Amino acid sequence: MSLYRRTGVSVESYVEMARGVAVRCEVDRLNEQASLAFGSSESFVLSLDRDALEQLVSVGSRAIAELDVEGESLTVM
pLDDT per 10-residue tile (average), the chain, 77 residues: 63 76 94 92 89 96 89 61
- Residue 56 neighbours by CB distance under 10 Å: 14
**So what's the pLDDT on residue 36?**
94
Residue 12 CA to residue 3 CA, distance in Å, equals 5
Q: Any idea what the Cα angle at residue 15 is, between residues 69 and 53, rounded to 5°?
A: 65
Q: To the nearest 10°, the Cα dihedral for 7, 9, 10, 14?
A: -130
**So what's the pLDDT on residue 25?**
94
pTM above 0.85, yes or no: no
